[in-house]
Amino acid sequence: MENSKIFNRIIYAIDDIQLSVDDIITQCLTFKKYLYAIKFHILYHSLGISNLIHISNRTGIPLFLDLKLYDTPETVIHTIYTFPDEVKFLTITSANNNVSSITAAASAARVKNIQLFVVGKLTSADQYDLRAFYDIIKIVNDNKLGLVCSGQLLSIAKAYDIPTITPGVALPFFLKHNSYNDQKQKSTDLIDLINQGTYPVLGRSMPTNPKQFEELIVYA
């Protein structure tokens, strides 16, 4: 039994996954109907940009460049213009009130047909973070951007009808078979995140076969 609600919803983070190009292609094709994008950080990925472009072309799944851009407006614009057409999603940081660079990046991203997502300190909801969060919301809303947002703060972001991505999702079989867990979201959060309209990010906890996925998403 399948549920189309989760189709085209998962962002597959391959940053820390030590697989060959062929293995990544095979896995992406296996789960293609669920995948929204393939996320990576170009500076830290050993495969190199040419192989990542090949993966995107072979699978038909767009690339999500999690670069968290932070530089002058001029440099940010130049950097975005150098990205290949396969890059359809990009992150920029909101650190240190980086408003001018975010605005410049938004303009360049529109020219390149890239959806820009702003990243902030969004993993907790204490008073300081909430003030900062609302500042980020205003920047994102004014520039019609997306937001990397923790599950804890999703309800606030969704009230503004902002596209959101939620990182740190760990699935049950991963938690069961791994003694470590650096993920902030709990395994059962995947269903709730999907229902809230966000795009969850899965990395090391990505299933190895469709049956593991179907056991979860049938309830989504």
- Which mean pLDDT values do the consecutive 10-residue runs of the chain (220 residues) have? 72 80 90 91 74 95 93 95 95 86 96 94 56 87 92 85 84 56 52 80 73 55
Cα separation, 188 vs 172, in Å, equals 8
DSSP character for 46? Answer: T
Q: What is the pLDDT of residue 219?
A: 39
What lies within 8 Å, CB to CB, of 144 at 6+ separation is 106
Contact 109, 90 (CB under 8 A): yes
Superfamily, domain 4-217: Aldolase class I (3.20.20.70)
Contact 121, 96 (CB under 8 A): no
Q: What is the pLDDT of residue 57?
A: 97
Q: Where are the domains of the chain?
A: 4-217
Q: What is the pLDDT of residue 91?
A: 95
